[in-house]
Structure 1
């Protein structure tokens, strides 16, 4: 049978139609997101980050199945500012919570608004003291995890979490905010650990009391790891694991001298693991420099939203997708000591290797009321065991003296000196870099509206929303 030109055209159109059907990709499905956040975690204790005192099996599994970030930092090593930065994508001076327990400004928007606008249900279970006012943080509060970080127990249940993640076909973002390992270190099984065999951080003074308290702290890290395991098992049981991104965050450092409430790396340096089935290659890691302010912009990006103008954070989605090894050039730090002690403002800037700290009132002595109150030596007496040891131990004297009395400028090579013991501020070999970083830091402070030492004051209740 002779086939004319019309028949050929018709056959080609039919073939083309079938081909387009079979090669057309399905519209991308928006992933669910679960973010599990620790509280005062020394991330160096996690075995996937090199810790030797315990094996954090469930947290390590996220590293084995996902991407480990080696260079993630809080901008302020305190709970409320860190969480406000996580939720808003803004640095502390701009969101207003630049002192611990100081409320954010109004009106502001946060991840609760941005993801809701993209069709997400946004919930939070657990520690919730950084979710007020509701106009700024419109989370659905989900029962299940303990909301009070100083509670003597951390009992939790997953029924309400299960209901939230299986309620509807709409995608969700759920923040699971553990209170471990925040003081008072009263939960977890301490019998797992032998105090005498523990490997202490190099910036600690080795005393009997320090080891006793460290056992309690590690027991809470074990409790945290078990919570991570319970959440990941729940995802598998409910069939949510295939289209759910799981993020683990370490927050800031531990409530031991020199970590939390400071700008040394043991306070600022954190941990982040991201498991994204089918997208992130398992057992990978990155040295891309990121901060907590970058997380909300990244969530917006992966949910298909457009970048929000004027946020301080920037999306690191290209790093997650393996398209880039770089996220930002510099990470910045800020500390204002009130209400945790007498005024002691600090500012910092770093890249992946070098770090500059400016202590803005170096003539003053550093003081923290939770660790160093001579009228409450029984409340947390680790510090006083250190100062007693310093009377006869030169290394203990060095550690305690550097904690109390600090120079105006500190500069460290964090690769060669990860515990930041060797201040290179007066080394001529680093002068040009110190000058550059000082200028960059001052430019950042100006851009933020940060007047430095002048803002580390007591604010009245009425003034708290107007930094």
Structure 2
């Protein structure tokens, strides 16, 4: 009798542990789809009415939709740095980079790509980079080193910085695509070079007017930040971004369909200049910004279709999110403000890109992995800096104390097995904030606001005085409680300084 009892107990325990494990026998492919300047309220699955995003909605309907997931910063370079390194950007003074900046990630730093490559993954990055290339000012006419290869990526096809910055060329495996030796590229962010027209000199050549900052060299009828000469055979056409990047992404997936792959797919939409392909023009009544959201959704659909056709969608973990909050007028006259109507890019939240308010970092975030992630919604507090440690756990890798210092293992939150998210986290803008539960403290601004930011109409949340909000009662951050709860201000300020001093 006892023997039968122990045999039954053994099988019960074996069944329990086999059911409770979350690590599949076969390592999943990992696809991070990272959108640019997409707000919490810009998708129909997050409540948007003026634009429809059916492909992303399908991900949400069959995956996990997050309501309190965040980028680590309200601007692009810092968020991207944190995602790839598992470290808050302030630790490396990471800020918005010019187009000729050197690589901001030290090749000695272990990145997500390094970690997954060690786990046996083929690794690729396709799309917007904006983390710098080379040492010093890069020479665009030779192999540009260091770059993605030196920080773990086997393959790269890049928009080097942003679409509104020179050089306006694609860089594949660290060489400019279609460059002719007889027409070398030069780039300057200090003064005009070469004979190409600029937006200030020839506004009649522009498809859309631009502010002074964006009135440098004209390429494809659009003036950019900075100046360049040469490389005419390599110049991109903005309207071809969607098709070119989709082709490159699908080719990478197809090539590596029989082994685990990691692809960081960094879409340029919906960053300015918004110049969507002709087939998306007029898709909304919001002009180029709305049409660009539809184009972005199509790009997501193309990748998901490719995964299904190859029969690998069920073994692919898809993580969809954005690098920072939305912005309407960001240097180009594309009627984004005039045509916004009742659409709310940040949803119910205040602020957007550049802002310390929630709209700056609270991102639409969806995770999808058939048969592993159950469809639903998660209110857990999550930060993109945690992707490093979370993906390490899901792929059986260890993170030592030297790497990813700010990344926490949120793997069970990511796949929906737990709602126990972060207890606290930093939010970087032009100042620093800390979330602790539903409390949020924004520290006083300690430096001058750049002139270009002062001219933006966005609510930055920057102040010379401390601010305190309780998001449970005040999601829109309209009621500053710092005077009412001075001890809470002191407590959170102390915690913020502790983390900054680590």
Question: Is the shorter-chain TM-score for this pair beyond 0.5, marking a shared fold?
Answer: yes
Distance 1:355 1:59, change over 3 A: same
**Residues 281-292 of structure 1: pairs in structure 2 closer than 5 A:** 281-282=374-375, 284-292=376-384
Map of 1:445 onto structure 2: 500
Distance 1:32 1:433, change over 3 A: same
After superposing the two structures, state which structure 1 stretch, 136-145 or 64-73, moved more.
Answer: 136-145
Distance 1:78 1:155, change over 3 A: same
Counterpart contact for 1:146–1:179, Cα < 8 Å: no
TM-score, structure 2 length as denominator?
0.67
The alignment's C-alpha RMSD in Å is 3.2
Query: 2 CA distance for matches of 1:136 and 1:290?
Result: 29
Counterpart contact for 1:84–1:92, Cα < 8 Å: yes
Question: Which of 398, 414, 418 in structure 2 is aligned with 1:306?
Answer: 398
Question: Which of 408, 414, 419 in structure 2 is aligned with 1:325?
Answer: 419
Query: 2 CA distance for matches of 1:273 and 1:432?
Result: 36
Map of 1:343 onto structure 2: none
Map of 1:260 onto structure 2: 353
Deviation, 1:278, is 0.9
Is 1:163 aligned to 2:251, yes or no?
yes
Query: 1 CA distance for matches of 2:79 and 2:365?
Result: 14
Query: 2 CA distance for matches of 1:256 and 1:431?
Result: 36
- 1:285-307 CA-to-partner distances (Å, cap 9, x unmatched) read 11111111101211111111123
Counterpart contact for 1:144–1:161, Cα < 8 Å: no
Is 1:114 aligned to 2:115, yes or no?
yes
Stretches of structure 1 that go unaligned for 5 or more consecutive residues are 1-22, 196-214, 337-345, 373-382, 387-399, 448-467
Counterpart contact for 2:242–2:296, Cα < 8 Å: no
- 1:317-359 CA-to-partner distances (Å, cap 9, x unmatched) read 12234442113211102234xxxxxxxxx11001342211012
Is 1:334 aligned to 2:428, yes or no?
yes
Counterpart contact for 1:39–1:179, Cα < 8 Å: yes
Question: Which of 68, 88, 91 in structure 1 is aligned with 2:88?
Answer: 91
Deviation, 1:117, is 0.6
Could you say which structure has the larger radius of gyration? 1
**Residues 55-74 of structure 1: pairs in structure 2 closer than 5 A:** 55-74=52-71
Query: 2 CA distance for matches of 1:308 and 1:324?
Result: 24
Question: Which of 194, 203, 212 in structure 1 is aligned with 2:285?
Answer: 194
Counterpart contact for 2:426–2:435, Cα < 8 Å: yes
Stretches of structure 2 that go unaligned for 5 or more consecutive residues are 1-17, 134-145, 169-237, 330-350
TM-score, structure 1 length as denominator?
0.72
For the residue of structure 1 that corresponds to 2:317, the secondary structure is: strand
Counterpart contact for 1:332–1:348, Cα < 8 Å: yes
- 1:35-76 CA-to-partner distances (Å, cap 9, x unmatched) read 111001112121212222212111111111111121112222
**Residues 22-37 of structure 1: pairs in structure 2 closer than 5 A:** 28-37=25-34
Map of 2:481 onto structure 1: 424
Name the count of aligned residue pairs: 370
